[in-house]
Structure 1
Amino acid sequence: MSVTIKIHKDSKLTKSTVLSTLDNFEHQGELIGTGYRNVIKILDIEDEHYNIKGFKVPNLVNKIVYRFFRKSKAERSFLYAERLLKNGILTPKPEAYIEYKSLFIFGKSYYISKQLEYDFTIRKLIDEPECDDYDNILRQFTQFTFKLHEKGIHFLDHSPGNTLIKKTDSGYDFYLVDLNRMNFKTLTYDERLANFARLSPKDYMLDIISDEYAKLINKPHEEVKERMYFFSKKFSSGFKKKEAFKKKYYFWRKKKN
């Protein structure tokens, strides 16, 4: 397979260091998460910390789609990171993306960004509802999401682990990660409110989020809260059905084998 390497103009990386790092990707670095689907690792390259995401090899159909018709997840992550930063939205600095492909099919791909040292994610607010400054953090996060919406950024994977948070002297900075699924357009009222659905089914979180967002868009709180509850429950119900189907399917496969 041939390899395509795109390095950001401000990056210190070179093609040779990137290739050398990927040659040893499986055997070095600190694994983040389980690595079940995509593999994310923190690696040092010439004394700098980098975050490298190796995307799962796509299925047969997508091998053709990504080869000829659609940008890969790695390329989209890189381009969307650049676009976010141009719009004043924080994300770890994009460094490079790499694609392996043959004449007819797409293979592996990688996205490299600068490793960001952060304090916590939104998941902390779900796991620790009594944590310090809870209300303020959640309201600032809601303001951050409103800023996304006002700039026409629809982050489709707006889930608890995909916003990294750094505490600052003046408040909190929010950084988006896992960037390959985004739309850039004017969001409708319902699209804005539904964008919070993946974050948490916890009513006490939605109460605060809806209160702050209602102020920002100048709508009645009860109206905004009701719609947010609706979209959150709809997502939770769909997620549970999907997980139940997967369990049944994998149980059947295991039993058959």
Structure 2
Amino acid sequence: MKIILNPNYKQHEKAILQLVNRFFSEGSLIVQGSRNTIKSNFLENEKVNIKFFKKPGLLKAIIYSFFRSTKAKRSFDYANYLNDHSIKTPIPIAYVEERNSLDLLGDSFYMSQQIDYDFTIRELIHNPLFPERNLILEQFTEFTYKMHEAKVNFLDHSPGNTLIIKNDNSNYDFFLIDLNRMKFENLSIENRMDNFKKMWLSKQMVKIVAKKYAELSGNSEPKLQALLLKKTIQFKRKITKKKYLKRKIGK
């Protein structure tokens, strides 16, 4: 096993490896996917989140072993980048990779601090009467603008991948999760609006986001609203069409 640690957790290396080795027999299940599984557990007195990435097929194993960073490594590295740029994400603790005698990737794991959050963007989308909905959207837009200014193009910027914690005086903290798909680049204003498309925003939400982003960026509000609405509608149509075709093929 190869293990890379956050320097602040160096003294916990043995305990971290024990949690990884007992991943399938211990811990509380959070997500059970076909290839990825997420559990929570305790690293001594600290609650942690462990994400398991299933062993890839031979071709992908070769790619991840010699040509591209693994999902576990990307999660760890990207979390460090975000924290270095004051963009909140659960603190990365370690990543672990199993390798065979040919140095090909097997199973891998990413461990971070567990965030006990209040809700996600998904709740706002499904509930137009959600308390302080507009205020939260404005603060979320500020958070996304800050992310864009740090040259972060979060390719999985979707409703369930931002955890939200309410603080005093109606201030909200936003934490990015599921980090292994990111690009680090200068984003045009069109790319920035495109980055919101997976949020599944309503027309009213588009107006709020566009107005706030225009204030922050100095761009024209009507321009951003039209651009964001176009990107959102195109994405919704694409997903709706995909679901329709899947149902037709399944009949």
Summarize deviations over 1:77-122 as a string: whole Å, max 9, x none: 1011111111111111100001112215321111000111211111
Measured in 1, the distance between the counterparts of 2:11 and 2:240 equals 43
8 Å CA contact retained: 1:201, 1:236: no
Higher mean alpha-carbon deviation, 231-240 vs 147-156, is at 231-240
Say whether 1:147 aligns with 2:146. yes
Root-mean-square deviation (CA, aligned residues, Å) is 1.9
Structure 2 unaligned residues grouped into runs of 5+? none
In structure 2, the residue matched to 1:255 is: none
In structure 2, the residue matched to 1:187 is: 187
Partner of residue 56 from structure 1, selected from 54, 57, 62: 54
- Amino acid aligned to 1:207: K
Measured in 2, the distance between the counterparts of 1:82 and 1:5 equals 16
In structure 2, the residue matched to 1:27 is: 25
Measured in 2, the distance between the counterparts of 1:197 and 1:46 equals 40
Measured in 1, the distance between the counterparts of 2:210 and 2:103 equals 48
In structure 2, the residue matched to 1:220 is: 220
| SS of the residue 2:8 aligns to | coil
In structure 2, the residue matched to 1:115 is: 114
| SS of the residue 1:108 aligns to | strand
In structure 2, the residue matched to 1:88 is: 86
Say whether 1:200 aligns with 2:207. no
In structure 1, the residue matched to 2:167 is: 168
Q: Sort the Cα spacing of 1:127 and 1:13 in 2 relative to 1 into closer, same or farther, 3 A.
A: farther
Measured in 2, the distance between the counterparts of 1:104 and 1:87 equals 33
Partner of residue 99 from structure 1, selected from 58, 78, 97: 97
8 Å CA contact retained: 2:88, 2:175: yes
Q: Sort the Cα spacing of 1:60 and 1:32 in 2 relative to 1 into closer, same or farther, 3 A.
A: same
- Amino acid aligned to 2:67: F
| SS of the residue 1:44 aligns to | strand
Q: How many residues get paired?
A: 249
Measured in 1, the distance between the counterparts of 2:42 and 2:248 equals 42
Summarize deviations over 1:7-60 as a string: whole Å, max 9, x none: 110126633222221222112211113333310111112222100011133233
8 Å CA contact retained: 1:198, 1:232: yes
8 Å CA contact retained: 1:50, 1:115: yes
Moved over 3 A (4+): 240-249
| SS of the residue 1:124 aligns to | helix
Q: Sort the Cα spacing of 1:13 and 1:227 in 2 relative to 1 into closer, same or farther, 3 A.
A: farther
Q: What is the deviation of 1:210? A: 1.2
- Amino acid aligned to 2:43: I
With structure 1 as the length reference, what TM-score do the two structures score?
A: 0.90
Q: What is the deviation of 1:201? A: 4.0
Measured in 2, the distance between the counterparts of 1:231 and 1:219 equals 17
With structure 2 as the length reference, what TM-score do the two structures score?
A: 0.92
- Amino acid aligned to 1:230: K
Q: Sort the Cα spacing of 1:233 and 1:74 in 2 relative to 1 into closer, same or farther, 3 A.
A: same
Q: Sort the Cα spacing of 1:115 and 1:17 in 2 relative to 1 into closer, same or farther, 3 A.
A: same
In structure 2, the residue matched to 1:178 is: 178
